[in-house]
Chain A
Amino acid sequence: GNSVTQMEGPVTLSEEAFLTINCTYTATGYPSLFWYVQYPGEGLQLLLKATKADDKGSNKGFEATYRKETTSFHLEKGSVQVSDSAVYFCARGEGAGSYQLTFGKGTKLSVIP
């Protein structure tokens, strides 16, 4: 079946460090790919998405490129801030009508001053 695998956490970085969170997906169908972020005490929020191969999603300094050849959608940010501390979920989505999301396990990021 469809699945998403993302790197295990937690990840702890100093402020202004470079961030990469790896994500790979099973190569079935033509999914859209997403990164969701969950701040403490809040619901998941869409961070960015890409709907087809070679698309790059970007938001708030984060970016990820849909790589079909490596079935990857790695999340990157050049300089993290303390406010980026959260849990990040990679997901694939498909379906017409009711749209189905399949999530990775989430990666907790802590950024220290």
Chain B
Amino acid sequence: GAVVSQHPSWVICKSGTSVKIECRSLDFQATTMFWYRQFPKQSLMLMATSNEGSKATYEQGVEKDKFLINHASLTLSTLTVTSAHPEDSSFYICSLQLAGGKDTQYFGPGTRLTVL
């Protein structure tokens, strides 16, 4: 299967600052990338679906101006949390779907964001 990396693995920032999280496919080209958020003892919640070269599709309740997604290439997607606040502290996970991959997603190890 595909190998997916995320960087950084954890980050602590001050309230009001912006944080960028990278998601890379190391060995396959991904037509679609997904961003999830997981609060403690909660399920993974889909935030947005990102297709290379087009605008991301956000789930209901997710602010597109706060969570900026850039899917610039078939191997890289970035999530920028703008003007982060303590309530944005969470575990952010990306996954990717390969071209013709149908129902299989490959997940990154996640990024722990803590906003002070």
Contact = CB atoms under 8 A, between A and B. Distances in A.
A98 B97 contact: yes
Contacts of B44: 44, 89, 101, 103
Contacts, number: 54
Contacts of B104: 46, 99
A82 to B, nearest CB: 21
Given A103-B43, A105-B41, A42 B105 contact: no
A99 to B, nearest CB: 5
A99 B43 contact: no
Interface of B: 1, 4, 32, 34, 41-44, 46, 49, 51, 57, 93, 95, 97, 102-110
List of 3 A-B pairs having minimum Cβ-Cβ separation, nearest first: A43-B107, A44-B107, A43-B109
